[in-house]
Structure formats: structure tokens, C-alpha cells
Structure 1
Amino acid sequence: MTAPERLTVTGPADILGFIPHSLGYWPSDSLVAMTMHGRQLGATLRLDLPAPGGAAAPEHYLQAVRGYLDADTSADGTLLAVFTSDTHLAAGTYGGLLAGLAPVLDQAGMPVRDAWYVGGDYWRGAFCLDAECCPCPGRAVQEIRDSALNAEMVYRGSSVGPAPERQDTAARPLPAMHRAAAMEAEEEWERGLSPRSRSLAQFRLVLDVWEDLLARPAGLPWVPDVDRDGFMCASLLVPHWRDAVLVMSAAGRKAAEAGVEGFYLFDDAVQLEAISPQLVPGNGAGAHGGAGGPGSTAGERWGPERFYSAHSTEPVAVDGEVPNYGAVLMGMAPAVPDWAGMDGLDCILAELAALGGQAAAAALTGRGWISWCRGRGSYAARHLSDALSAEPGYRLAELILELVGRGSICGWAARKESAWQKFGPGAAA
């Protein structure tokens, strides 16, 4: 959806109703923190609640919350919501968490302005002692679902789906015949593309096909095409082509081409004619060109570890101008990515993942990376876990999931001026 014009918040129910729209789902067993800019709502952070144990929350947890919120450098306040199953026990279980966060966030210049406990049936103010305002066990959660802001968000096209762990990562069900035909086409294209994996001309032609698809107008319905979809899936099986597509969606064609120059991936001795769904040479070598298996040397020489060999905090450029692959994949450059291009790629990858086949792991990993770049760790973890279910040991999925698991934030998501925004700045006030 497009960014809505500013919405008016009239009370706690509106604020709590905005949270599921911001996250995309109704959280459970979660701490949700929202930054404030004056009277405007800012960034939304969701973390799993710490395991209940003592009266005080672990210090590392409190500092982690502060560290994440520090990324919003213009924030001057914080709102907190504890989503738990039972508001009866919430104060006794998580009162220490809120008490511990208050001085930490106050020291950071983001004092806690209000906090709430939200259960399955009731919600109540965490600091409210007025029985008339916050009767025991609380106010009905239905008030949140019926709030004016929630109704307005739904009217504007926003929806609240199931939690990531309960979602089907496929874009939509596909007819079995289409899936079978697409997987057959993928295998056929792989036989033709594999011996061309070190061809510079083929690399550029693969980018041509993806660039055309990324330029599709937003919202244009996806029309399945067996031959094209099979080609796209097969192209994702070549690691440096796959990663070039990710980089191109965020940083443009120039970065995708220049970023591979230092890895010596191309071999001038490969003279096979480049092929694509529009360019199939009639050389008698099969429907899509030459023979060859998937064991190409490109996959051996191009490992995802190359991207993470230097965890620099500064953008790295090629020739002082174009960011390299590592900088783009870690969200360090460009200063602001092409979010529209990445959104378009996410939609395409969802369609390709739904086909199954060998490329499902690559497509789901790409979706996981995009979710991580957006700052949506729960969605990233779901996509990456599904990628590893599709292909155990898929290395790029393992690496990105490791980043997600240890709480690393993508460089773009950590900077307000570059972060992905579902609704746009100051959507609610």
C-alpha cells in the first residue's frame, strides 16, 4: 500500500491497534517498543520477551533494547507494550522488565511515556492504578480491534496477517501441472546455462531479463510463464548470478556488474552464445543450448563467505564510486537502497519459491535477506528457515540466519534516513 496521510491517535487503543499494522501481524510473547517524536509515532521494535525468572530483566536484554532504539536518533520518548497470554500475571512476571527499562531509556533520552500489558482477551495500562480506567482484569482486547485508527488502516488497505511462523511462504497455490512444467523447464535451462556460468555475455543477458522484470509497474499482476520462470529459477542456481540480482535490486545495474570484477569469475575461453527465453540458439545442442551438469567451477570459486570477509562499518566502493557486493548485502551502501526495486524482487521471488524445484532455497533466501534489510527479523527467520528446509546446508541462508539470530541489524534498517517504512514517517500522531 502507499504511505497513508497522517492518522490521528486519540488514545491507547489506537496506539495498540497501530502496532499489528506496523508489524504485519498480531504479536505474542513479545515486547514492542515504539519511539516517539514529539506527539508522532516513530519506529516499531519487536523482541521476544525474556524468559521469566527473576524480578529484574537481564542487563544484556535491557541494553539490547536501548541499542536498537538508539538507531532512531531523533526520538524523544518511548511507548512500551508487553504482549502476553495472560494479563492477570503480566505485572508480576514482567513488571521488573518495565521497571528496568525505564531508567535505561531515560538515560538514552527516550523516557517511557506509557506502557501496557496486552493479553489474549484483556489489556490494561502497566502504570495505571485507577480501577475505573483500568478495571481488573482489564479492558476487552476487542476495543483495540474496534479502534478508530484500526478501522481507518483497514479502510486504507492495510491488513494484519498471521504471525510469520504460521504463514505459508508461497505466494499462492499453483496448479500442479504448471509447477511440474516449470520444474521441467528449470532443469532444461540449467543444462544450457551451467556451461555458460563463466560467460560475461551470459551474465549480462541474465541481468537484462531480471532488470526488465524488476521494472514492472508495482501492483501489476504476475502472469506465469513456464519458459521464463524456468529460466529465472535456473539463473538463481548460479551463486554469482543470484547475488548480482539481489545487489541490482538494491543498488542498480552498475553495482551488480562492477561488484564482480575483482573475483575473476569470467573466462574469455567460454565462447558459447548467450541464451535467454527470447534468444535460443539453433545450434543443435538441445532446446536451450549446450549440455553440461550443475557441477560448474563458478560455484566452487564463488562462496557467500566472500561477502562477509570484511565486516567494515564504512561503505566500500569500487573505483571510489560503486559499492561492492559486501557493502550492499550488509546494508552499508548505497546510502539509501532502491526499496521499490527490492519490493518488486520480493514479489517475484515469492512467485518462484511457490514453484518449488531446486531454486526454492535461493528464492526464499533472497526473501529472507530483503526482510532482514527491512528490519523484519521474524519474517527473515521464517523465510531463511524455509530455505534450509528446502535445501539443508544452503550456505547463504545459514549466514544470514546467523546474523538474524544474533540480533544484527542491517545497516539500512539502523539508519532512520535509509530504513524501509511501511507507512512513511509520522503516519500516526
Structure 2
Amino acid sequence: MTSPERLTVRGPEDILGFIPHSLGYWPAQSLVAITLQGKRVGATLRLDLPGPDVLANPAKFLRAVRRYLEADKEADGTLLAIFTSNGGAAPQSRYDGLLAGLDSMLQRARMPVREAWYIGDDFWREVWCLDVLCCPLPGRPIQEIHDSLLNTEMVYRGSSIGPAPEQRQPAGPVSALHRAAVLEAEAEWSAQLDLRRQSRPQFAAVLGQWEAVLARPAGDLQRPSVHRDAFLRATLLVPAWRDAVLVMAAAGKTAAAAGAEEFGIFSQDAQPGPMAPGAEQAGPEEVPSAADGTAFPSFALPDQCGEGFLMSGGQDGTPGYGNVLMGQEPAVPQWHSLDALDLVLEHLAAMGGPPAAAALTGRGWIAWCRGRGSYSAAYLGEALDIEPGYRLAELLLELVRRGTLCGWAARKEAAWQKFGPEAA
């Protein structure tokens, strides 16, 4: 294994320029905390700045910050940045007391604050620097952050800073003609697949189609394929298949198949033959039952669960659906497959309708797995706007609102890496 490239931090401008790339957007009214492991940057945490009531009694907020940062077991220091519209303009900030509390608490937690900054609309400054020669008031120009060498390097590597999650525009445009054709074909697929919800061969065909799509280059999504899109959207309407796709992307097809067997979704009664898209632009056609080569181990079949498999466990060492969806298993998920799934779900959500709620819920789960709670909440909120009461979206949004971390996001060795290289 080759050593990853490293991003070199030369000064505070580079660190502050790194933050928006790490989050994906320029934060506003936010506390950002970055753990340090020696001189190496660790995890990045963003929280909304607390209101006056919390500032008056910040103990609970401080404990939450500590709990999050302690997930980085190797951390021995912390960097803090407060992004606020007047952060660089006022000599004394309303958040000075909060920073003092964080400084004291993190010192006791053996993650002392190495540096802290206020970042405003026009200026930024170090919080505890009193030397007006190096820290002039009201601060240094914000353009220094935009012009930092690390920011330039990140842009060169293809990283971009998008809008904040609440300002994000819906998924990319889909032509009206393609959308109309997909919705028409989707109705046909839904009718066919509804007859096969309990069919093992149909389940195998569904996983086989999704696996093939996830293995293709991202650019293939831009090539119009009416029945591909219609079939994939129709499969998301079946909760068991929707969950299996998420599990397969993270933990592999064996885990997806084993969980389905464990929950007894299949019927022993005769089922119609499996259907899947044929040649490009072809409609439903019957496929051989064992076309994808999936093995389905035999398990004792408990009573069938209701909507999906959120709380299921695994057997015989196979990751269970519940453990996968909570980020507990496998030790490291298949991030390349999850990244591909996110792109596919974005494409499918752009055509609206009930399948869009499922697709956005899947994107919300992936964002949560990546440790991006703000994006997760935005996607899940959109899903519930489309289909109020969508159960999986409600459950996941509750996790996000409670501040629950996905198991993978809480472990350095398992966490999603946006850039690949490390920063030091």
C-alpha cells in the first residue's frame, strides 16, 4: 500500500481555508472544532452556534462537544473556529464565554485548544491574540482565507465549496421528455414487480441490476435509459428491496441476501418469473432465476417485520441489516460503492414522485454515514416533504436531531475520506 499524499498547513489561513472544503460549504453561525493528533488534522465537527439561553448556561452544550470530539481516540489537541456575521469586527464577542468554557473543558479532557479564531463576513482574527501588530483590529481580510495556498491546492485537486445544505438546489435537471417516459414505464414496472415482492429470483434480479449500475462509470447516468431508471425507481418502492440496496452498497451482496432470508420476506408459493430490463431501452422481460449467481443461505425464518429492517441483526458472522444501517458493521464500509449509490440516487430523485422520497432517504443515510449531519437532515427533510410520514426518513432524522453519530463516522479507520489524502 502506498502512502497517501499529504496536505501541508502553513498557517491559520490554510486551516480556515480547509474547513469549507471539509464540510462542503462555507459555514454560517457555526462552531467548528477540529481534532489534532500531534501535528496532523483529525476529525471535523460543526455545530450551530447556541442561542442566548444556552450561552447563559452552556454546560449541556459543552458536554455534547466533548462527547463528539472524544470519538477521536487519538486526539491530543483541538482547533476551534467560530463563524459568525460579526465575528471579526467586534473586539469582544458574545461567544468569548463559550470559548473559555470550551478551553477549560477540553484541557481537562486532554485535548487542549491549540488555536481559536473568529471568522466574520469581512474579517477574521485569532481569539486570544492581543498584539495589534500581528492581530490588528477589526481583523485580517477574509480574502486571505480564500487566497490561501491550501485552498488553491484543494480547488486544483477538484474540491469545490457548494451552498449550505438549506440553500442547496434540487438534483440536477432531467429533460421533461425523459421524465415523462420514465414515469410511464415506472407504472408498468411497479405493476410487474408488485406481483414478485416475495420472489427470491426477483430479489436476486433486483440486486443484480443495482450491482451492475453501481459498478459503471458515473458518466453512464447521463446517457438516457428510460427502463433502467424506471426499474430502479420502482424497486425503491418496495421497502425490503430499498433496504437491501443500502446494505449491499455498504456491506456487500451476501449481507443483503442473508438479511432478507433472516426476515422471511420470501414465499414458498409459486411466483411469476423474475423481470429485469433487457437490452438498452427494452421494457420488462423475464430473466433466468440464477442469472446473477447470488447465493442465498438458509436461515430459520422469523415472523416478517413491518417496514424495512432497521433493527435486524445478523447470523453466522454476516453483518445484520440493523448493524449496517447504524454503521456498526462491517468494520469499514465499501465507500466506493456508497459514493456510487449516492450519485445514482441523486439522479433518480430528480424525477420526483414517491420513489424520490426513497432516493432522498437513501442519500440522507449516506450523508449521515459520512458524518455530514447537516446534509443528512436536508435530504431527509426533502423526503418528508414529498411523502409525509415516510417511516425510514423519520427514524433517521430523529437520529440526526439527537446528534447520534454513525458508527463509521466515529472511527478514524472507518470514516469517509472526502479527499483521500491526509492533512498535516
TM-score of the superposition, structure 2-length normalised? 0.91
Tell me the CA shift for residue 303 of structure 1: 3.1
Q: 1:360 and 2:356 equivalent?
A: yes
Tell me the CA shift for residue 10 of structure 1: 1.4
Q: Contact 2:42/2:75 (CA < 8 Å) preserved in 1?
A: yes
The residue that corresponds to 1:163 in the other structure is 164
Q: 1:221 to 1:230 in 2, by over 3 A?
A: closer
Tell me the CA shift for residue 412 of structure 1: 0.7
Q: Contact 1:8/1:428 (CA < 8 Å) preserved in 2?
A: yes
Match of 1:337 among 333, 347, 356: 333
Q: Which amino acid aligns with 1:164?
A: P
Which gives a bigger RCO, structure 1 or 2 (Cα 8 Å, sep 6+)? 1
Q: Secondary structure at the match of 2:413?
A: coil
Q: 1:395 to 1:152 in 2, by over 3 A?
A: same
Match of 2:384 among 366, 372, 388: 388
Q: Secondary structure at the match of 2:195?
A: helix
Q: Contact 2:221/2:347 (CA < 8 Å) preserved in 1?
A: no
- Matches of 2:407 and 2:18 in 1, distance apart? 25
The residue that corresponds to 1:129 in the other structure is 130
Tell me the CA shift for residue 52 of structure 1: 2.6
Q: Contact 1:240/1:302 (CA < 8 Å) preserved in 2?
A: no
Moved more, 82-91 or 384-393: 82-91
Q: Which amino acid aligns with 2:400?
A: V
Q: Secondary structure at the match of 1:396?
A: helix
The residue that corresponds to 1:111 in the other structure is 112
Tell me the CA shift for residue 218 of structure 1: 5.6
- Matches of 2:170 and 2:105 in 1, distance apart? 37
- Matches of 1:90 and 1:205 in 2, distance apart? 64
The residue that corresponds to 1:85 in the other structure is 85
Q: Which amino acid aligns with 1:370?
A: I
Q: Secondary structure at the match of 1:307?
A: coil
Q: 1:304 to 1:411 in 2, by over 3 A?
A: farther
The residue that corresponds to 2:413 in the other structure is 417
Tell me the CA shift for residue 260 of structure 1: 1.6
Tell me the CA shift for residue 358 of structure 1: 2.2
Q: Which amino acid aligns with 1:307?
A: L
- Matches of 1:91 and 1:223 in 2, distance apart? 56
Q: Secondary structure at the match of 1:43?
A: strand
The residue that corresponds to 1:283 in the other structure is none
Q: Which amino acid aligns with 1:428?
A: A
Tell me the CA shift for residue 166 of structure 1: 0.6
- Matches of 1:241 and 1:273 in 2, distance apart? 17
- Matches of 2:307 and 2:408 in 1, distance apart? 20
- Matches of 1:4 and 1:122 in 2, distance apart? 34
Tell me the CA shift for residue 301 of structure 1: 5.3
- Matches of 1:26 and 1:269 in 2, distance apart? 56
The residue that corresponds to 1:428 in the other structure is 423
Q: Secondary structure at the match of 1:317?
A: coil
Q: 1:215 and 2:215 equivalent?
A: yes
- Matches of 1:378 and 1:252 in 2, distance apart? 27
Q: Which amino acid aligns with 2:214?
A: L
Q: Secondary structure at the match of 2:367?
A: helix
- Matches of 2:392 and 2:328 in 1, distance apart? 18
Q: Paired residues, what number?
A: 404
- Matches of 1:178 and 1:305 in 2, distance apart? 30
The residue that corresponds to 1:11 in the other structure is 11
Q: Which amino acid aligns with 1:115?
A: A
Q: 1:169 to 1:225 in 2, by over 3 A?
A: same
Q: 1:152 and 2:153 equivalent?
A: yes
Q: Contact 1:336/1:412 (CA < 8 Å) preserved in 2?
A: yes
Q: Contact 1:123/1:138 (CA < 8 Å) preserved in 2?
A: yes
| 1:155-181 deviation per Cα after TM superposition (whole angstroms, max 9, x unaligned) | 1111111101111231x1111111111
| 1:36-63 deviation per Cα after TM superposition (whole angstroms, max 9, x unaligned) | 1111111111011111347655111101
- Matches of 2:277 and 2:364 in 1, distance apart? 27
Alignment of 1:261-410 (within 5 A): 261-278=261-278, 302-304=305-307, 306-308=309-311, 316-319=313-316, 321-410=317-406
| Structure 2: gaps spanning 5 or more residues | 287-302
| Structure 1: gaps spanning 5 or more residues | 281-285, 290-299, 310-315
- Matches of 2:385 and 2:85 in 1, distance apart? 30
Q: 1:287 to 1:278 in 2, by over 3 A?
A: closer
Tell me the CA shift for residue 89 of structure 1: 4.4
Tell me the CA shift for residue 220 of structure 1: 5.5
| 1:105-148 deviation per Cα after TM superposition (whole angstroms, max 9, x unaligned) | 11111100000000111111111111122222111111100111
Q: Contact 2:239/2:308 (CA < 8 Å) preserved in 1?
A: no
Q: CA RMSD in A?
A: 2.2
- Matches of 1:370 and 1:252 in 2, distance apart? 15
Tell me the CA shift for residue 267 of structure 1: 0.9
Q: 1:34 to 1:287 in 2, by over 3 A?
A: closer
Q: 1:176 to 1:350 in 2, by over 3 A?
A: same
- Matches of 1:350 and 1:19 in 2, distance apart? 25
Q: Secondary structure at the match of 1:116?
A: strand
The residue that corresponds to 1:295 in the other structure is none
Q: Secondary structure at the match of 1:322?
A: coil
- Matches of 2:274 and 2:117 in 1, distance apart? 60
Q: Contact 1:247/1:325 (CA < 8 Å) preserved in 2?
A: yes
- Matches of 1:72 and 1:180 in 2, distance apart? 48
The residue that corresponds to 2:295 in the other structure is none
- Matches of 1:408 and 1:304 in 2, distance apart? 22
The residue that corresponds to 1:97 in the other structure is 98
Moved more, 247-256 or 100-109: 100-109
